[in-house]
A and B are shown apart, each in its own frame.
Chain A
């Protein structure tokens, strides 16, 4: 741990307090390149807050988050995105008034300034890439459909697709299978297995079967602190974890 730059993401002594309540308390975690890390923990453990801190939505009270050696805690949200961190929200946040195609197009990593957006042209590269992503997220037949008409599961996929098109090095997913039907869950697992190649993924998930299926390592948060960390096998048998979380 002497050299932080070995890790893609290193979180050290991260703390955030809201009016004195420490939602995240001295959390440290290190994520390797191409690692799939799952964060689990009971409600209110601070899981989503950790993602908020990494992507800049919430400012840390103290501690550091380094991504490829760059400090993220004092960067703006869009700068963090440009650095290579993508984040999916818990509730599908997509642009309901736009078509699936337009949703993906807006996420395409080009023309992200005002002038760039005016000069942006829908060329072959953009169209090909959108089609490629649409196929991946099972929406190739719905490109011209308004996103509002998609099912809940399809909306989740669309948001994942909007992140994929940016090709982030670190992908953060907040409960990607929540509210999905069994068949959608299976498809999502399949999708995740395909997209985690060549990138690190940080996932929050409650579905234990799903976690076991995808996680390389698991971090258990409880009351803002790291309770346990390691392989799923190890974490599952940790008596502290069983007591506060898995035992329920």
Chain B
């Protein structure tokens, strides 16, 4: 009986090793750079899905607006890259050189004030986490302190996703509008569009993802993780045990937002643009589906869920573009009805017992005939 905090048990270490081998070795060796870049894009969604595991799976707070935080992180990155691409020399044909092209098209003659700080990379890196966290904090304080939860909270997050999309599209001169911020070229002079850069960005993303997974695992394992589960099941009991439940919720919501922001920034870097189509209601719900398919209680499941659903989406929409949305809807219904614990649940109930049995058989040093004997008799010492 182990009474200490175990950061990862033996099984989880194995899962981590398998995941690391898969995304760091198997995928880069097995795929061409075009496909690998696609998988890198899928993995950016895994950040969001892991945030949802903490926030929704464990804490019971369903957010249908994670695209907002993903988008904010992505836009912060895109703003920096766009400013770097908009040097006066590169934009000298514009009526106002030195500002991003879409601003010039919209008759803006000066850089808006909130764009100014994005000339600085340190500020941008801070903003990628800071902007989503600050927004999540404001939403969290406004909602959780007033005890808004459950379906109402989900609806409000969805409304926020809609509002942000409308805002981005409507303020075209400041945001790039429906096209988003495109034509991103270099990061501190380093061209991000080359194959080599794509490889490097893929690995940066993969290592960040593993780092995020370890952080999330730490939260899961410490007392806060237990509290989140407790809060999901018996909110009043937690409150009447002396905890300010709203603060716990705000924290986990902000943490999920921070993870989403990082994912968004890596998305921008790897895909080369950011647009409102990754912010709104539909992408936000898709992110919940990634998490649900993977298994909303499993961090590893979140990664595989994001990979699987996105890979299916790409392959399926290449062949039957018009059918994809139906397939996605069907998948979500299937997850809810047939396997609510997702891929992780299927693994736990079907695959793991067999693997354990297989390993036990392989691992035993006894002669083959004892292995086939019923349990109990096999352990008797032979005399």
Contact = CB atoms under 8 A, between A and B. Distances in A.
Interface of A: 55, 57, 76-78, 81-82, 86-87, 89, 93-98, 102-103, 105-107, 109, 111-114, 117-118, 120-122, 127, 143-144, 159, 162, 166
A162 B5 CA distance: 20
A105 to B, nearest CB: 7
B314 interface: no
Contacts of A107: 241
A86 B133 CA distance: 34
Contact of B236 (A57, A127, A143): A57
Nearest to B231: A95
Contacts of A76: 244
Interface residues of B, number: 27
B222 interface: yes
Interface of B: 1, 3-5, 219, 222-224, 226-227, 229-230, 233-234, 236-245, 247-248, 251
Nearest to A144: B1
Interface of B is mostly: helix
A117 to B, nearest CB: 4
A76 B224 CA distance: 21
Contacts of B5: 121-122
Contacts of B1: 143-144
Given A106-B238, A162-B241, A122 B233 contact: no
Given A89-B237, A144-B1, A95 B230 contact: yes
B247 A113 contact: yes
Given A98-B229, A105-B223, A113-B247, 9 more contacts: A76-B244, A78-B239, A81-B242, A93-B234, A94-B234, A106-B223, A106-B226, A117-B224, A166-B241
A117 B234 CA distance: 18
Contacts of A55: 240
A112 B1 CA distance: 26
Contacts of A114: 224, 247-248, 251
17 contacts: A55-B240, A77-B240, A78-B239, A78-B242, A78-B245, A89-B236, A93-B234, A102-B226, A106-B241, A107-B241, A112-B241, A120-B223, A120-B224, A122-B3, A143-B1, A159-B237, A162-B241
